[in-house]
Chains A and B, each alone.
Chain A
Amino acid sequence: MTLQDLTQAMGKPTFQRKAEVIGIGREGELLEVAMGPQHPSTHGVFRMDVVLDGETIVKLKPVFGYLHRNHEKIAENTSYLASMPYTDRLDYFCSLTNNWAYALSVEKLAGLQVPERAEYIRLITAELTRLLNHTCLAGFLLQDMGALGTPLMYAFREREKILDLIESLTGARMMCNYMRFGGCRCDLPPGWVDAAKKVVAEYSKFLDEFETLLSGNEILMARTQGVGKLSAELAVSAGVTGPMLRASGVDYDLRKVDAYGIYARYPFRIPLGTHGDVYDRYMVRMLEMRESLKILEPALKDIPEGPVVDPKAKLRGFRPKPGEAYGRIEGPKGELGFYLISDGSPNPYRYRVRPPSLINLTVLEDMCLGQTVADAIVSLGSVDIVLGEVDR
């Protein structure tokens, strides 16, 4: 085989290319491969049934349910409060935003007010969660591409500093169970605000370093640019939310649209992508972290004194009036919603989680068709899934 043969064959679909280079005059056979559920790049127990033509993906079907525990049924059989620790286990990277989404929905359902100080704590913890989620996602994405260890370890080192803050506030690193209906469980410990200010002040330095390491790296660019493209129309129709939607150029961030909590008080910009590829998704997250820092710095200065929980909110014997409410927040992975129906009893009649990770996977097949297996792994990594939330 000469170089000329190869270059000639390059312009054709893979199966023809392969067949011609090998010298067989017929199409290659299709191969069906189950990637997962024990595949290291699937971020958990997630399976993709792919049909391959050579190395090109011609069909991809995601298979879910390996981590299914029917969170919704459990919640319908326990009290409102008892579901709060279970929400930690949805997206176990971002338990504080899960707590907030659930608390927000119950507050809508029961008409509870949140004291000023609690709103500040919620905003600060949610933005810290966003920082650690996006940092780790960048690390995982690089891990998926074969940059084993180094970027992920740097990401984990910084995440640890935020986890230390979260632990000293909530008592647990990941399963925080911190927010309550009408506020937060406990007040900030002494010295916490100063420690948080220090972490936030140093974070932009880390982001500079991290970006020098990654954003200009030619290998990363070659592996991500033009890979896993997603058009804005498809993204909107498929209900894709979060950084993935904004990377496709759709300006939709619930922190601006709903302005829940006290987000309206702090100016921040929404980074948008133009190509909708994996590199844009990575870059949007990097820029979003810098915007989060812009929210955190003034918020940590402004935090007022006062109570952290609405005195009207009851811990035990909490029974909202009959009715329903859908509350949603901009989680680090996208729109996290809770739909609750109350029939006046201590348990919710219907409890539904709108999982952003699951719905963002709707477009996985569209993003991967016609690309190679290695690209599919990167595309999946850029969706940012956590199986605790996908399977519930």
Chain B
Amino acid sequence: MLGTGILKGMVETAKNFAGSYHDPERLTTVEYPEQRIAPKENARQFPMLIHDTEDPMKGLRCVACQICEKECPPQCIYIVKSKDKRADYKGQMQFYPATFDIDISVCMSCQICVEVCPFESIKMDTEFELSNTDRFGGLLIHKEQLAKSNEHYRKIHPADAAASDAVLAAEVAKAQAKAKADAEAKAAKAAAEAKAKADAAVAGTVPAPATSTAPQPTSPPAAPAA
């Protein structure tokens, strides 16, 4: 009969109308900004720079290698490398960014800077309420605004932050082991040299030439492998 389809459809809309009062499956919207949906753990908006120390500008992990600047598809990152160096989290002397700007009116939130960064220093923030009345300057974000603490990162992306911390911890451990091994090797070398000198002094007043058959210093207690 003509009109049956329309009537069936209207029953459907009536079901949805009534359902919207009690069934959360049928009313999925919330009243923003009073109510908010919990953010997804993987959600990403714009990049941020991670720092480890109290003073954000001193503890930035970024070493101004400029890889992200080169790889950024819309070229929205601008970095000026520092003239001097400072110690990073491993104690290694590194450059740091004298200027680090991101133009978030150009940034397309693609996360490629995060993927290419070898220093775990640039990550994605979840802040999205960044509207501004200044079209150019206000949307150009400097390193002071970009710097976020590692605690903040742990809070917004717990799983990623744990993985990132593990990578850094492994690197620090590796660096420490290497430093330790280096120090021990150095100490061992010094000891060996001292012993060789002492041996030479015992053998005679004239130091033996390098090619002499004087007993070679026995190797000192082996340094643990790095």
Contact = CB atoms under 8 A, between A and B. Distances in A.
Q: Does chain A touch chain B in the assembled complex, meaning CB atoms less than 8 Å apart?
A: yes
Interface of A: 78-79, 81-86, 88, 150, 154, 157, 160-161, 164, 167-172, 175, 177, 185-186, 189, 202, 209, 212-221, 315-316
Interface string B106-138: 001111100110000000100000000000000
Contacts of B26: 157
A310 to B, nearest CB: 15
7 contacts: A85-B108, A168-B40, A170-B42, A175-B108, A213-B9, A216-B5, A315-B116
Nearest to B110: A85
B71 A79 contact: yes
B99 interface: no
Contacts of B11: 212
Nearest to A190: B159
A305 to B, nearest CB: 17
Nearest to B41: A189
B112 A81 contact: yes
A220 B159 CA distance: 49
A63 B224 CA distance: 74
Interface residues of B, number: 33
Interface string B48-74: 000000000000000000010001110
Contacts of B4: 216
B2 interface: yes
Given A88-B110, A213-B12, 19 more contacts: A79-B71, A82-B112, A84-B110, A85-B108, A86-B73, A150-B13, A154-B16, A157-B26, A167-B42, A172-B109, A175-B108, A189-B159, A209-B15, A212-B12, A215-B5, A216-B9, A218-B3, A219-B6, A315-B116
Given A81-B112, A216-B8, A316 B13 contact: no
Contacts of B109: 172, 175
B6 A175 contact: no
B112 A214 contact: no
Nearest to B43: A171
Contact of B115 (A154, A218, A221, A315): A315
A282 to B, nearest CB: 14
Nearest to B39: A167
**Which secondary structure dominates where chain A touches chain B?**
helix
Given A82-B73, A219-B6, A316-B116, A168 B110 contact: no
B124 to A, nearest CB: 7
Nearest to A169: B42
B44 interface: yes
A267 to B, nearest CB: 30
A157 B19 CA distance: 13
B124 A316 contact: no
Interface string B1-30: 011111011011101100000000110100
Contacts of A209: 12, 15
Contact of B44 (A82, A171, A220): A171
A171 B111 contact: yes
Contacts of A83: 73
Contacts of A78: 73
A177 B44 CA distance: 11
A170 B12 CA distance: 34
Contact of B71 (A150, A172, A316): A316
Given A160-B28, A212-B12, A171 B71 contact: no
B111 A177 contact: yes
A189 B158 CA distance: 12
Contacts of A168: 40-42
Nearest to B25: A202
A219 B108 CA distance: 42
List the 10 shortest-distance A-B pairs measured between CB atoms, nearest first: A216-B5, A85-B110, A82-B73, A171-B44, A171-B42, A213-B9, A213-B12, A168-B40, A217-B5, A177-B110
A221 B5 CA distance: 10
B71 A81 contact: yes
Contacts of A171: 40, 42-44, 111, 124
A120 B25 CA distance: 28
Contacts of A185: 111, 115
Contacts of A88: 110
A171 B114 CA distance: 13
B2 to A, nearest CB: 6
A85 B43 CA distance: 16
Interface string B152-187: 000000010000000000000000000000000000
